[in-house]
A and B are shown apart, each in its own frame.
Chain A
């Protein structure tokens, strides 16, 4: 009976390192979050309003990109070794991608934070969406490129492990966690292609002065080509824990392994061809393309609803095994004193609420009501900010002991911490959603206009401001408690069994399900076709209108050809 660190000490080292980067980003990002929430509500102003974008960029990049993706890198490394039951083929390669991603992330962070020091003459106030016309110091884009390439190598690392496993087990079904890692990685390759082209071909040469202009709509579209799927790289680690860890914590077993596979395949197929739904208000993209993106988006609700069913059913299975009865009273039989369980369950509840505001965002007409208002951060603080971030923190209470061989420092503090996050987010996101409905804009230090008052139908604007500030403060305290607890756990004395890390088999296993589910080549091919269908015409028309490099109108021949082909096909 040994835990993960005893079986895979080298891999445990890498996973610990990725988690350390993730948690450092979480700490700094949360501090920035508090600063900006207090600033824009007017309660405490420690920065100049002109520095607001610097702080907001730091917040967005460190939390939405660095914290989440580094956690993913660690979790997937853990999952692939654990579920294939073999170490990674070449630990030097593993450390190499860790080094590259970390250096890239540090470069980007340095470029952002330098903006707070005018003497440094370096800044990257381009927000986490980093498209033109906002321009950053080249170091920021170079850091991003290194980071992306590092993640590609991580994917190679996991696929190499899979190939070795396949050679030894030619006829077996891919273990569930490995299946999740591989499908998510394929999705990542497909979607980061867009952002990599944007950064390497356009933004780096532009920031270095090699080219004078870029086509802003093109960089926006390439960003959102990646910017929607990236929400699934936030979510997939959380889904992996909900599917494979949460049922166990609840005292039961996963309801259905095939259903979980179907969900991940659906995400691979559907998550990239929808990015244009972030551009409903962009001029220069025809309404028809936007409408197609909206329809695809509605299909994406399907895997989320399947997940809701499977995960709740698995929890219910646990509750009933532990003596739960009735239609709703079984909920009381769940292990609410286990912080890992409670954190994930609360995260799931918040995700259900985020589903509601997400459906509003997705609708083309109703999106106009909330576009670029505080509603939008209200929405994604429920999804990435809670469903994902809280699941990652809660999951850490279960994962970190496996990685260190030491027990958790304090379970009561952990329990308090996850509940505090939930309460803080109820305040903050409720206030953000409602403020958005009043038309209060996002991304601004001074969300008020001269001789114009926002008026609330229910409650008042100052009440919303207080809620936001109180919520933000609770959230920040929660992060501090989390970091404190994890840090102290790391210096505990090692013990033999720090955590119960066994995972029970699903109620309904993979054996009976169609083998085609494991055909990764097929799903990738279909995903590529869908992307080509969704994006080739919009991209062609964007380049035709604005030129590949902005004003210049370069490469019309290519685009004419695309149009001619399209004309023939239609």
Chain B
């Protein structure tokens, strides 16, 4: 009854792996195994640096728009 039945990401290399329409079957088409020592998370570092830059940008924006641009919001 499901409205879609074709195989998408499970290539069926592993006979133990479910075939057909499944959620969570990503690893079937893995191209290589990376162990702990081979894996260097530079991408993670990049993503975190980008986030950090956005944070700094937002703080600066807050400072100009909210503090320099407005009267005092809370008094006493």
Contacts and interface: CB of A to CB of B under 8 A. Distances in A.
A322 B42 contact: no
A340 B23 contact: yes
Contact of A398 (B17, B24, B39, B69): B24
Contacts of B29: 251, 322
Interface string A302-335: 0000001100110011111111101110110001
Interface stretch (A173-181, A378-386, A407-415, A562-570): A407-415
A397 B23 contact: yes
Contacts of B20: 407, 495, 497
Interface residues of B, number: 47
A310 B74 CA distance: 40
Contacts of A504: 27
Interface residues of A, number: 65
A94 B31 CA distance: 43
Contacts of A496: 18
A553 to B, nearest CB: 29
Residue of A339, A407, A408, A439 with most chain B CB atoms under a 10 A cut-off: A407
Interface in B1-22: 1-4, 8-10, 16-22
Contacts of A495: 20
Contacts of A493: 1
Interface in B43-67: 43-44, 46-48, 51, 54-55, 58, 62, 65-66
Contacts, number: 149
Given A457-B65, A499-B18, A410 B31 contact: no
A312 B74 CA distance: 39
A507 interface: yes
A341 B8 CA distance: 15
Contacts of A312: 41, 43-44, 47-48
A316 B22 CA distance: 22
A341 B24 CA distance: 8
A304 to B, nearest CB: 12
A397 B31 CA distance: 26
B43 A328 contact: yes
A341 to B, nearest CB: 7
A408 B2 contact: yes
Interface string B24-38: 111111111111100
B65 A339 contact: no
In the complex, which of the residues A320, A324, A335, A458 has the most CB atoms of chain B within 10 Å of its own CB atom? A320
B74 A369 contact: yes
B23 A408 contact: yes
Contacts of A360: 62
Residue of A339, A409, A500 with most chain B CB atoms under a 10 A cut-off: A500
Contact of A497 (B22, B36, B55, B69): B22
A346 to B, nearest CB: 15
Nearest to A408: B23
B44 A309 contact: yes
B47 A338 contact: no
Contacts of B33: 321
A1 B15 CA distance: 11
Given A248-B27, A397-B23, A492-B2, A497 B18 contact: yes
24 contacts: A250-B26, A251-B29, A309-B44, A312-B48, A318-B27, A322-B26, A328-B46, A328-B47, A337-B8, A337-B9, A338-B26, A368-B73, A369-B66, A397-B23, A408-B21, A408-B23, A457-B70, A458-B65, A492-B1, A497-B19, A497-B22, A500-B17, A500-B24, A500-B25
Q: 10 closest A-B pairs (Cβ-Cβ)?
A: A497-B18, A251-B26, A313-B41, A500-B25, A313-B44, A368-B74, A335-B26, A507-B36, A316-B43, A323-B31
Given A337-B8, A411-B8, A457-B69, 13 more contacts: A245-B24, A312-B44, A312-B47, A317-B34, A321-B30, A323-B31, A368-B74, A401-B22, A407-B20, A437-B65, A457-B70, A458-B65, A498-B18
Interface of A: 1, 245, 248-252, 255, 308-309, 312-313, 316-324, 326-328, 330-331, 335, 337-341, 352, 356, 360, 368-369, 397-398, 401, 407-412, 414, 437, 439, 457-458, 488, 491-493, 495-501, 504, 507-508
